[in-house]
Structure 1
Amino acid sequence: MARLAQRRVGVCGPSLGGSEGDPGENSSPAAGGQVIGHVLDLGLTEYREACRLQLRAHQARVEDRIGDTLLLTEHLPVYTLGRTARAEHAGEGWTCGALAGIPVHASDRGGSITYHGPGQMVGYPILKLRDYCAGPKAYVAGLEETVIRALAGLGVPAGRRGGMPGVWVSERKIAAVGVRISRGVTRHGFALNVVNDLRPFSAIVPCGLAGYGVTSVAQERGAAADFEQARRAVLRAFQEVFGLALAEARATEVFAHTQAEAADAPCV
């Protein structure tokens, strides 16, 4: 088995100041040189609708009609197939469009198959990548670092496993990361298991990694798990890692600057 890596690597953010593997000392949300962005909580959403909203925000960010934005949501139960998904990862869901009564949707993010459901925190950063990271690998590491720091604040020690994107507690995956970068702007992001039902993962090979389990904040902490506390921890960590000061925004404030026709674009 790959050894769990605890060191920080590839941390993004204009205010961090350290070299790769060293986040530096200047990593608080109050640090100088910050970029001002917005966080928008979409609440509980159907996957395809959230994907359409991502596309609208992405197009607007490409055209500089909105600033950098973090979309947060919980999804209604759904399996999503990333670009590296294979039939053996999804079983009958590969061909029938549903698995155990749960819909299966294709996605243009990286990675294989995963499950989303209520109680799981999903983050979709819409960022101009060049302003934060040297490239996609550093960006993925920055998302992992965000989750690792948030979990540390929640009393859940977590880290990386060599060659396996995502965040792990020993040999159990607690957060998945899958991204898409188009025209220099990011889409998709991370999914952190907080208080969600983990049983749907048993019907698939999560992220295409056979032989590994999944876990959640609730499973690691029991009754102490709290979704709102986890949300605050993730927001703080995201701001630290990426050097962003995020202001809460309403959907009307963000999507008033996006083109409605983008909502009709295909989810993938």
Structure 2
Amino acid sequence: MGVPAVRRRHIQLRTAVAPDPPDLPVSRGFYTIRPGRLSYRAGLALQQHYLRAENRPDADLLILTEHPPTITLGRKTDPRHLLTSADELQKKGIEIHQSARGGSITYHGPGQLVGYPLIDLTRHKRDLHLFLRTLEEVLIAVLRRWDIPANRREQSTGVWVGNKKIASIGIGVQGWVSWHGFALNVSTDLNLFQHIVPCVLQNVQMTSMQQCLGTAPVPETLEDALIRQFADSFAASHMGDYEKQTTTQA
């Protein structure tokens, strides 16, 4: 499930220390949902299902998935930042979707680890900036486990390696429950970012874990590391896979 691996080699993981982790109150815990690759529309429907209070467990959720080639337009997208016509993108097999998330235009595709945290922010001070910074810290700490010197930039949400961007973040909030989330480039075809102006920054370059390391990490190993770091950064316990829990209870 998740991001397809390319050539595999042994990579020693480091114990990462996230810089200046935010001070968050103790959460009630979270479940993970790992459905494998989903269309962007299906991923949206899955989030919307669990945004409804009657479907949500008494815990937060972290959905980890991957999408086929898709360009999404956030609420602040400038139409000029879509550099290729919709007809041309369709011919190339790339979908376009308007999105309710914050931020501008971005690309999703195979080789990305996409995370959708459905978090009850009433338990996290109802502070969207703190929430965004914490998501950045999760990704920074995970990347540093692979000795990738990730960092953040002031006034530019996301995660960077030097002057190249490796992860994008854009969230929405409904009833103080977050949705949408982050996309980490693992073995993504970076050439496909040429169809957009990512991050509203002209000439910005994207990178990936594969580009930084020479190979991509094993998907399950990466997902497990991210889940552990998510638990640490949000001071929350990982309660396992939600679908397995519901199957057991049934």
Which of 146, 156, 176 pairs up with 2:148? Answer: 156
TM-fit CA distance, 1:81: 0.5
Which of 27, 37, 47 pairs up with 1:44? Answer: 37
SS at match of 2:215: helix
The residue type equivalent to 1:44 in the other structure is R
**What CA distance in whole angstroms lies between the structure 1 residues aligned with 2:109 and 2:166?**
14
Q: Deviations over 1:16-40 (max 9, x none)?
A: xxxxxxxxxxxxxxxxxx5222011
**What CA distance in whole angstroms lies between the structure 1 residues aligned with 2:217 and 2:125?**
32
**What CA distance in whole angstroms lies between the structure 1 residues aligned with 2:240 and 2:183?**
20
State whether residues 24 and 235 of structure 2, in contact with CA within 8 Å, keep that contact through their aligned partners in structure 1: yes
State whether residues 69 and 93 of structure 2, in contact with CA within 8 Å, keep that contact through their aligned partners in structure 1: no
**What CA distance in whole angstroms lies between the structure 2 residues aligned with 1:215 and 1:99?**
25
SS at match of 2:37: strand
Would you say 1:55 and 2:66 are equivalent positions? Answer: no
Would you say 1:14 and 2:25 are equivalent positions? Answer: yes
Q: Deviations over 1:158-216 (max 9, x none)?
A: 01111000000011000000000111100001110011211110111112221210000
The residue type equivalent to 1:144 in the other structure is E
The residue type equivalent to 1:60 in the other structure is A
Name structure 1 gaps, 5 residues minimum. Answer: 1-6, 16-33, 256-268
Name structure 2 gaps, 5 residues minimum. Answer: 1-17
The residue type equivalent to 1:129 in the other structure is L
Give the count of matched residue pairs.
Answer: 231
SS at match of 2:52: helix
The residue type equivalent to 1:249 in the other structure is D
TM-fit CA distance, 1:66: 4.2
**Distance change >3 Å, CA 99–CA 13, structure 1 → 2:** farther
The residue type equivalent to 2:24 in the other structure is G
SS at match of 1:223: coil
Would you say 1:127 and 2:119 are equivalent positions? Answer: yes
**Distance change >3 Å, CA 88–CA 155, structure 1 → 2:** same
Q: Give the alignment's TM-score, normalised by structure 2.
A: 0.84
State whether residues 35 and 243 of structure 1, in contact with CA within 8 Å, keep that contact through their aligned partners in structure 2: no
State whether residues 84 and 195 of structure 2, in contact with CA within 8 Å, keep that contact through their aligned partners in structure 1: no
**What CA distance in whole angstroms lies between the structure 2 residues aligned with 1:13 and 1:168?**
23
**What CA distance in whole angstroms lies between the structure 2 residues aligned with 1:133 and 1:153?**
29
SS at match of 1:118: coil
Identity %, equivalent residues? 36
Aligned to 2:225: 233
The residue type equivalent to 1:13 in the other structure is L
**What CA distance in whole angstroms lies between the structure 2 residues aligned with 1:60 and 1:252?**
20
State whether residues 186 and 216 of structure 2, in contact with CA within 8 Å, keep that contact through their aligned partners in structure 1: no
User: Relative to structure 2, which stretch is displaced further, 94-103 or 135-144?
Assistant: 94-103
State whether residues 35 and 245 of structure 1, in contact with CA within 8 Å, keep that contact through their aligned partners in structure 2: yes
State whether residues 209 and 215 of structure 2, in contact with CA within 8 Å, keep that contact through their aligned partners in structure 1: no
Aligned to 1:213: 205
State whether residues 194 and 230 of structure 1, in contact with CA within 8 Å, keep that contact through their aligned partners in structure 2: no
Which of 77, 81, 87 pairs up with 1:89? Answer: 81
SS at match of 1:35: coil
Aligned to 2:130: 138
